[in-house]
């Protein structure tokens, strides 16, 4: 693994790259399954149905806790084996809304690594989701000080990467996307002609998983933890 030469443009993901995120959604889902008490469907089977609902709704409503609350409510209304009362729906939504109250748990090695990277390269925080929710997490994390620019988009696809690079005047050969999601961080960045560094996370959301794409003319590197970026940059 050869270090990148010269000053680089580093685009860095937030959720499950800088701080824990999906673990709170998983905990909310577990509470949902317990409350649903379905007589025949297993938790993975319920999860499969919820995934279908989420995939359909993402295109319209996007991501975040508020949209997850809507998805849980729709799933409950579809699967409940009892009369669906308004108070039951509100209870189910509450499992998701409580995510907003969770502390921002920074992943080990992140602050000191960001401090190191910010002293040597240009850092952009590039995340997707509900703008206000993402801004709140950035503020709570205290990590915003390391980034010269922050971009929050509805979806991180190849078009979003190309647009960001064009708006910021970034040289693709010296621009890297760093994150835990093959679907949103790595593959679309490579498709847009950027380099990428994959930082695996054991609890990455199932809908964010894909096989890593071929880097083509660019570079694709893998580090086992965020602190490993210091060996590259």
Q: Look at residues 210, 66, 73 and name the one whose alpha carbon lies nearest to residue 129.
A: 66
The full set of domain ranges for the chain reads 9-19+105-231, 22-101
Which ranges constitute the DSSP H helices of the chain?
Answer: 22-36, 43-61, 65-79, 86-97, 110-118, 131-141, 158-168, 187-191
Does residue 198 register a pLDDT over 70? yes
> What is the mean pLDDT of the segment spanning 162-166?
96
Predicted local distance difference test score (pLDDT) of residue 214: 85
Does residue 5 register a pLDDT over 90? no
pLDDT in tens, 56-104: 998 888 788 999 999 999 999 999 999 999 999 999 999 999 998 888 9
- Per-residue H/E/C for 37-61: CCCCCCHHHHHHHHHHHHHHHHHHH
Give me the chain's average pLDDT, please. 93
Contact 17, 184 (CB under 8 A): no
How far is it, in rounded angstroms, from Cα 156 to Cα 37? 36
Contact 189, 11 (CB under 8 A): yes
Q: In the structure, what pLDDT confidence band is assigned to residue 1 with cuts at 50, 70 and 90? A: low
pLDDT in tens, 205-233: 888 888 998 887 889 999 999 999 999 99
> What is the mean pLDDT of the segment spanning 6-33?
95
Provide the pairing of β-strand 9-12 with 149-153.
Answer: unpaired
Q: In the structure, what pLDDT confidence band is assigned to residue 12 with cuts at 50, 70 and 90? A: very high
Predicted local distance difference test score (pLDDT) of residue 208: 85
Residue 55 burial (CB count, 10 A): 11
How far is it, in rounded angstroms, from Cα 165 to Cα 31? 41
* CATH of span 22-101: 1.10.150
How far is it, in rounded angstroms, from Cα 158 to Cα 171? 16
pLDDT more than 70, % of the chain? 98
* CATH of span 9-19+105-231: 3.40.50.1000
């Amino acid at each position: 693994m050869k270090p990148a030469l010269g000053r680089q443009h580093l685009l860095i993901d937030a959720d499950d790259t800088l701080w824990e995120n999906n673990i709170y959604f998983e905990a909310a889902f577990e509470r949902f399954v317990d409350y649903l008490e379905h007589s025949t469907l297993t938790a993975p089977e319920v999860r499969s149905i919820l995934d279908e609902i989420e995939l359909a709704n993402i295109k319209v409503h996007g991501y975040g806790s508020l949209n997850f609350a809507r998805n849980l409510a729709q799933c409950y209304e579809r699967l409940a084996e009892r009369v669906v009362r308004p108070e039951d729906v509100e209870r189910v939504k509450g499992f998701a809304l409580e995510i907003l109250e969770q502390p921002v748990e920074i992943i080990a090695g992140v602050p000191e690594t960001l401090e190191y990277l910010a002293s040597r390269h240009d850092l952009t925080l590039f995340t997707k989701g509900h703008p206000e929710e993402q801004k709140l997490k950035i503020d709570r994390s205290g990590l915003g000080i390391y980034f010269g620019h922050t971009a929050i988009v509805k979806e991180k696809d190849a078009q979003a990467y190309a647009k960001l690079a064009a708006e910021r005047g970034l040289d693709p050969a010296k621009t890297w996307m760093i994150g835990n999601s093959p679907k949103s961080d790595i593959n679309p960045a490579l498709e847009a002609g950027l380099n990428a560094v994959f930082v695996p996370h054991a609890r990455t959301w199932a809908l964010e998983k894909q096989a890593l794409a071929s880097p083509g003319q660019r570079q694709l590197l893998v580090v086992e933890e965020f602190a490993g970026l210091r060996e590259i940059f």
